[in-house]
Amino acid sequence: MPVLLRFLAPDKADVILDVGAGTGVIADEISKYCDEVFALDPDAKRVEYIKKKYPQVKAFDGSAEAIQFPENYFTKVFAVSSFHHFRDKDSALYEIHRVLKKDGRLVIRDAGPAGRRSSFESRAANVQFTPLEELKEKLEHAEFEIIDSQKSDGYYFVSARKI
C-alpha cells in the first residue's frame, strides 16, 4: 500500500477509479484520502459486496474495455493485480485514457510473467501477464507518459500521465 499511495498521490479533490476492484478493500483505503472513489469490477456479486461493505465507494459492474463514464471524468485511475485479467489490454488502456482528465495519472500494479504465482494463475485462470517493459510500450502507444516504475518481489508498479 505505501508504494501505491506514493505513486497515486491521492488528494482530497481527486476523482479516482479502481479498475478491477475485486472486493473493494483497496478502493476503501484510497477513499480515506479523497471524497470520490469509484470501483469498477466485471463481477456483479463483488460489486454488490463493495456497495454493502464500503458504502462510501461508488461501485459499478463493467469491464476495463468499456468504462461507462464520460470522457475526462477521473483525475486518477489505478489497477492493482487486475491488469492481467483484462481481455484486451490495448483497448483497456485506450478506454482508461479516454476517461482520464488531461495530465491524469494511471497506476498499475501487477506481477511479471516469470513469477511463481503468475505462472500458476496463467494456467489456472487462462490469463496473460505483461512484462513491465512491454506494459511501458503499451502505455506510450496509448498516449501516456511514464512517470515512474518500481519492481520488487515478482511484482511491479508503473505510474503514467495522460498526455
Does 119 score more than 60 pLDDT?
no
Kindly report the CATH number assigned to the domain that includes residue 54: 3.40.50.150
Does 126 score more than 80 pLDDT?
no
Does 148 score more than 60 pLDDT?
yes
**Structural domains of the chain, count:** 1
- In this prediction the pTM is 0.94
DSSP string, the chain: -HHHHHHH---TT-EEEEET-TTSHHHHHHTTT-SEEEEEES-HHHHHHHHHH-TTEEEEE--TTS--S-TT-EEEEEEES-GGG-SSHHHHHHHHHHHEEEEEEEEEEEE-TTSHHHHHHHHHH------HHHHHHHHHHTTEEEEEEEEETTEEEEEEEE-
Q: What value does the mean pLDDT of the chain take?
A: 93
Q: pLDDT tens for residues 74-109? A: 999 999 999 999 999 999 999 999 999 999 999 999
- What is the pLDDT at residue 116? 55
Better-scored residue on pLDDT, 129 or 1: 129
- Distance, in Å, from the CA atom of 101 to the CA atom of 110, rounded to the nearest integer, reads 23
Q: How far separated are the first and last CA of the chain, in Å rounded?
A: 26
Provide the residue range defining the domain that includes 85.
2-162
- What is the pLDDT at residue 141? 97
- What is the pLDDT at residue 92? 98
Q: pLDDT tens for residues 35-75? A: 999 999 999 999 999 999 999 999 999 999 999 999 999 99
- What is the pLDDT at residue 120? 58
pLDDT band at 124 (very low <50, low <70, confident <90, very high): low
Name the grid cell of 19.
Answer: 479498475
Which of 28-32, 118-122, 137-141 has the lowest average pLDDT?
118-122
